[in-house]
Amino acid sequence: MILHKTQEVFGYISRSSAEQLSHLTGIPLARIYGVVTFYHFFKTTKPGKHKVSVCLGTACYLKGAQDLIDSCRKLLGIEPNGVTADGLFSVDPVRCVGCCGLAPLITVGTDTYGKLTKDMIPGIIAKYQNA
């Protein structure tokens, strides 16, 4: 729960946060990192201001989600799980987000965009470039 809260507040688990948690709880740092690196949910790098999540669940994947993540990667010039140099965007693949009827879809922060084609990605990203 402490790790969940830390990630909720900071967006990721930094080395400094892990060290402080270890100090405060008495749990060895290696054990904390063991948990953080085992669960895909936890991030060890700071996400972009706008977190783009591309669903690669089965329904989305079958309807072309790979094209969406490729388009995001090409447009922003980053790899999945990467962050743009200006820190504005990060792109992460995620598992089913529970909106399969909208497949394929991405989320940007709390906004959801469904029934997408790769040609729609630039317009969506543009909405956040000055936000």
Q: Which residues bind ligand FES (CB under 6 A)?
A: 55, 57-60, 96-100, 103, 105
CA distance 67 to 116: 10
Least separation in angstroms between CB 54 and ligand FES: 9
Least separation in angstroms between CB 41 and ligand FES: 17
Q: Which residue's Cβ has the minimum distance to ligand FES?
A: 57
CA distance 35 to 45: 15
Of 18 and 105, the one with the shorter C-beta distance to ligand FES is 105
The residues that bridge with 89 in the sheet, in sequence order, are 50
Nearest in space to 14 (alpha carbons), one of 39, 36, 40: 36
Of 65 and 83, the one with the shorter C-beta distance to ligand FES is 65
Amino acid symbol at 93: P
Of 13 and 124, the one with the shorter C-beta distance to ligand FES is 124
